[in-house]
């Protein structure tokens, strides 16, 4: 999809003019209005008066003129009830409507998509990003219909003369973030049979091939020589060999401690010998969503040339039941030296991530953070609109910043506790740590987080359980399947990194 700018004076040739309107927006007082052809002005004013413009309402005025074929009003309801979270849906709604009407190109005046006092470039960024997210569909495995896929080819943002450069800057940033998020969605949507750990490593290499990112992939022999017994334990039941994927982007000051991002890369989670019931296995090819987010988050950071040092670590394995599977009761020797008592083979994410976190400590991180579809419990706790964020008990500043990063990026996060009280519940009987809570199943998301924290040493640490946001939900104007959660968060986190580094934690 191409997103361009055009001047108001070209409005008479806009083709399809899309206008988001509050119940109270006086269209005739908007800057763009005076540029409309006179006939369109009168018709639009009459039409706008007739429309209720309620939230979610769409009304189409067909003009059948040469220059403007249609004007579409997208109702936003009362201005007082509007907020930033609803605002990101505007672009997606427009694209969804256009797809349904086979409209390939439309124009929007920038002032109408500006939220409160946001800058023009931020306005354009949010619009471009969300238009691109709205235009995505996972079609790789389908035959193309004769008329082609219903997708929008171009959007023109109408601006006043002299403001183009600022808007173009925002478009570029939004486009990169939107594109990488869509790439992440495609990767996570790819069925487990076509996305094994080895193939995930190849996909990682391809994703950053033209970028200033160094890739290193450990095979099972290298992992064994290092002592990554936790990853190897999870991988034992599968014929697919595990991989440990490392991405290094070093574009910050030499002495800046890196942002280390770990992402769960379970390419299919059957549960292992503690096999999942069939309706829970469905969609478990997306259990590498955290890994996919780290790959495309780093790719986005590199494309944007952000000035920081960032490392991506993705432990990739398939969790299968077989004669060679790890068993409940197994005691795995992790890279950290701690032993893990496997009480449930389905709690495999924390097991393989433990080695990634330990490995991450070698980089002396300024912040060590992981993204993982870790627990159904996080989903139960928060519903489907936000991921769970965990920071150490006394690191309130980091928690606040991460919530802010979530709001700013659109990948919303909400805190759950990491209190030491929960640690006693994951102490092992025969090993150092048990991979599930020993008392009952309550607080499962916290047990997962508390387990991971034990492998973060003295590093500043956060864990994001993205299970609640693994797939898109109805009402967010996105195609079914993986949501690409994490990519937008990682970019925003990278932008805030120097601020995070200056907290005295």
Residues in touch with ligand BES (CB under 6 A): 269, 287, 344, 346-349, 373-377, 436, 444, 467, 470
Q: Which is nearer to Zn ion, 240 or 287 (CB)?
A: 287
Q: Which is nearer to ligand BES, 375 or 399 (CB)?
A: 375
**Cα–Cα distance for residue pair 22/39, rounded to 1 Å:** 23
Q: Which is nearer to ligand BES, 273 or 398 (CB)?
A: 273
Q: Which is nearer to ligand BES, 178 or 271 (CB)?
A: 271
DSSP letter for 288, please. T
Alpha helices in 137-196 (DSSP H): 164-189
Count of other CB atoms within 10 angstroms of residue 385: 13
**Cα–Cα distance for residue pair 402/390, rounded to 1 Å:** 10
Least distance from C-beta 266 to Zn ion, angstroms?
A: 5
**Structure-block tokens of residue 57:** 């309402």
Q: Which is nearer to ligand BES, 16 or 270 (CB)?
A: 270
Least distance from C-beta 330 to Zn ion, angstroms?
A: 15
First to last CA, the chain: 43
Least distance from C-beta 379 to ligand BES, angstroms?
A: 6
How many angstroms separate the Cα of 197 from the Cα of each of 201, 230, 243? 6, 15, 6
Cβ pair 287, 267 in contact under 8 A: yes
Query: Strand (E) positions, 76-204?
Result: 105-109, 154-159
**Cα–Cα distance for residue pair 130/20, rounded to 1 Å:** 15
Q: Which is nearer to ligand BES, 75 or 237 (CB)?
A: 237
Residue 67 contact among ligand BES, Zn ion, none, beta carbon within 5 to 8 Å by kind = none
Residue 287 interacts with Zn ion (CB under 5 A)?
Answer: yes
Residue 215 contact among Zn ion, ligand BES, none, beta carbon within 5 to 8 Å by kind = none
Least distance from C-beta 490 to Zn ion, angstroms?
A: 20
Residue 375 contact among ligand BES, Zn ion, none, beta carbon within 5 to 8 Å by kind = ligand BES
Residue 248 interacts with Zn ion (CB under 5 A)?
Answer: no
**Structure-block tokens of residue 117:** 């006092």
- Size of site (CB under 5 A) for Zn ion: 6
DSSP secondary structure string, 40-67?
HHHHHHHHHHH----TT-EEEEE---SS
Cβ pair 455, 362 in contact under 8 A: no
140 part of the active site:
no
**Cα–Cα distance for residue pair 455/20, rounded to 1 Å:** 49
Residue 318 interacts with Zn ion (CB under 5 A)?
Answer: no
3-state DSSP call for residue 245?
strand
Report the helix count and the strand count for the chain, using DSSP H and E: 16, 18
Cβ pair 263, 371 in contact under 8 A: yes
Residue 315 interacts with Zn ion (CB under 5 A)?
Answer: no
Q: Pick from 282, 288, 283, 281: which is nearest to 267 by CA?
A: 288
DSSP letter for 9, please. G
441 part of the active site:
no
Least distance from C-beta 203 to ligand BES, angstroms?
A: 20
Least distance from C-beta 317 to ligand BES, angstroms?
A: 12
Q: Which of 99, 125, 350, 469 is catalytic?
A: 350
**Structure-block tokens of residue 227:** 């002592």
**Cα–Cα distance for residue pair 301/251, rounded to 1 Å:** 10
Q: Which is nearer to ligand BES, 77 or 349 (CB)?
A: 349
**Cα–Cα distance for residue pair 300/487, rounded to 1 Å:** 8
Q: Which is nearer to Zn ion, 346 or 453 (CB)?
A: 346
Residue 470 contact among ligand BES, Zn ion, none, beta carbon within 5 to 8 Å by kind = ligand BES
Residue 436 contact among ligand BES, Zn ion, none, beta carbon within 5 to 8 Å by kind = ligand BES
Judged by CB under 5 A, the residue of 240, 269, 330, 411 near Zn ion is 269
**Structure-block tokens of residue 431:** 């090993």
Least distance from C-beta 467 to ligand BES, angstroms?
A: 4
Q: Which of 276, 333, 392, 397 is catalytic?
A: 276
Least distance from C-beta 121 to Zn ion, angstroms?
A: 39
Stretch that binds Zn ion, among 25-33, 125-133, 340-348, 359-367 (CB under 5 A): 340-348
Q: Enumerate residues 431-450 that contact Zn ion by CB under 5 A.
A: none
Q: Which residues bind Zn ion (CB under 5 A)?
A: 266, 269, 287, 346, 348-349
Catalytic residue ranges: 276, 350
């Amino acid at each position: 999809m191409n997103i361009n700018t055009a001047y108001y004076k070209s409005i008479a040739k806009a083709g399809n003019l899309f206008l988001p309107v509050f119940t109270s927006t006086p269209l005739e007082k908007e800057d763009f209005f005076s540029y409309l052809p006179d006939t369109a002005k009168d018709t639009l004013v009459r039409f706008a008066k007739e429309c209720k413009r309620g939230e979610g309402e769409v009304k189409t005025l067909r003009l059948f003129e040469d220059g403007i074929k249609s004007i579409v009003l997208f109702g936003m309801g009362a201005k007082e009830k509007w907020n930033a979270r609803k605002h990101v849906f505007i672009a997606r709604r427009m694209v969804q409507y256009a797809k349904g009407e086979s409209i390939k190109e439309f124009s929007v005046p920038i002032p109408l998509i500006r939220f409160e006092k946001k800058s023009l470039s931020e306005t354009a960024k949010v619009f471009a990003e969300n238009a691109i997210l709205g235009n995505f569909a996972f079609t790789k495995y389908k035959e193309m219909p004769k008329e082609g896929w219903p997708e929008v080819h171009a959007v023109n943002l109408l601006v006043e003369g002299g403001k183009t450069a600022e808007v173009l800057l925002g478009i570029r940033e939004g486009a990169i973030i939107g594109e990488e998020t869509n790439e992440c969605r495609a990767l996570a949507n790819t069925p487990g049979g076509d996305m094994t750990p080895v193939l995930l490593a190849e996909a990682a290499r391809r994703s950053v091939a033209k970028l200033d990112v160094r890739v290193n992939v450990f095979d099972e022999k290298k992992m064994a020589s290092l002592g990554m017994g936790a990853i190897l334990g999870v991988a034992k039941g599968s014929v697919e060999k595990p991989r440990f994927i490392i991405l290094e982007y070093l574009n910050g000051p030499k002495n800046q401690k890196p942002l280390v991002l770990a992402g769960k890369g379970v390419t299919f989670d059957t549960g292992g010998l503690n096999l999942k019931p069939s309706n829970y296995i469905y969609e478990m090819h997306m259990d590498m969503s955290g890994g996919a987010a780290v790959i495309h988050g780093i790719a986005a950071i590199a494309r944007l040339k952000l000035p920081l040092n960032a490392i991506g670590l993705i432990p990739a394995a398939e969790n299968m039941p077989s004669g060679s599977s790890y068993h409940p009761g197994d005691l795995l020797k992790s890279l950290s030296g701690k032993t893990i008592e496997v009480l449930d083979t389905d709690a495999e994410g924390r097991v393989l991530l433990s080695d990634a976190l330990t490995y991450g400590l070698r980089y002396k991180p300024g912040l060590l953070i992981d993204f993982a579809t870790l627990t159904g419990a996080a989903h139960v706790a928060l519903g489907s609109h936000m991921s769970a964020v965990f920071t150490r008990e006394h690191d309130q500043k980091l928690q606040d910043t991460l919530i802010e990063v979530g709001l700013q990026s659109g990948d919303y996060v909400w805190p759950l506790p990491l209190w030491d009280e929960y640690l006693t519940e994951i102490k092992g009987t025969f090993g150092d740590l048990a991979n599930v809570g020993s008392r009952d199943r309550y607080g499962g998301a916290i047990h997962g987080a508390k387990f991971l924290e034990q492998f973060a040493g003295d590093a500043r640490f956060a864990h994001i359980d993205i299970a609640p946001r693994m797939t898109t939900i109805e009402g967010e104007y996105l195609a079914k399947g993986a949501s690409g959660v994490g990519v937008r968060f990682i970019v925003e986190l990278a932008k805030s990194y120097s601020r995070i580094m200056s907290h005295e934690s």
